[in-house]
Amino acid sequence: MSDTAEAIYIVDDDPAVLDALSVIFNMEGFEVETFSDGDTFIKSASKTQPACVLLDVHMPGRSGIEILKALNAEHYPAPIFIISGQGDIPMAVEAIKSGAYDFIEKPFDADTMVSRVNDGIAALRNLHSSEVEDTFAGSEQLTRREREVLKEITNGASNKEAGRTLGISPRTVEVHRARIMEKLGAKNAADLVRIVLNK
């Protein structure tokens, strides 16, 4: 459906957060759909495809993590940002492992939120238009986002540079890097590059 091409889905049980984010993204020209529970969101997300999803990690009923799993988030065509409180870093890491694109900590400021979301949408579009040709041993184990991060790492980017290019935080890059190394059996970055180049 073309009319939802630039839609942002916001899933949060806090009406104040829904209102604030709706205002921010409406002003940026996005169409905003809000959901106060995971089940309603999952029904809608399986029928239409938004440009981006903002998902609170603490939801009544299904948690943000359960919603990611139900959506098969690693293969979801739009970036899913997890919104988490400051003490939620372990949960945010679990969300990344479950397929979230990145996490945004509360309290957030409007400009940061908008630029992170725009970067995420652009990075995912660029990835779709230039899929990495993965022919090295173990490449089939990697998720789309892990391949994206791997491409940056093997091009010599630091976590900070890779994060900037992909529109995600350096901490998120670290999580992906650790998972890539674990999946490919790499001991360090040099080892990783060797595995990728010895196609």
Angstrom distance (rounded) from CA 126 to CA 84: 27
The reply to whether 78 and 141 lie within a common domain is no
The reply to whether 164 and 100 lie within a common domain is no
Choose the final residue of a domain: 103, 130, 157: 130
Choose the final residue of a domain: 130, 150, 165: 130
The reply to whether 45 and 139 lie within a common domain is no
Angstrom distance (rounded) from CA 136 to CA 161: 24
Contact call for residues 100 and 80 (beta carbons, < 8 A) = yes
Domain ranges, residue 139 = 132-199
What pLDDT digit, counting tens, does each position of 127-145 carry? 655 544 556 777 888 887 8
pTM for the model stands at 0.67
Of 57-61, 62-66, 77-81, 125-129, which gets the smallest average pLDDT? 125-129
Buried b (16+ CB within 10 A) or exposed e, 35-70: bbebeebbeebeeeebbbbbbbbebeebbbbebbee
Choose the final residue of a domain: 71, 99, 130: 130
Indicate the number of domains in the chain.
Answer: 2
User: How confident is the model over 62-85, as a mean pLDDT?
Assistant: 87
Determine the pLDDT at residue 2.
39
Residue 74 has pLDDT above 60, yes or no: yes
The reply to whether 140 and 122 lie within a common domain is no
Percentage, residues of the chain above pLDDT 90: 22
Determine the pLDDT at residue 5.
43
Longest Cα–Cα distance in the chain: 52
Contact call for residues 76 and 48 (beta carbons, < 8 A) = no
The reply to whether 124 and 143 lie within a common domain is no
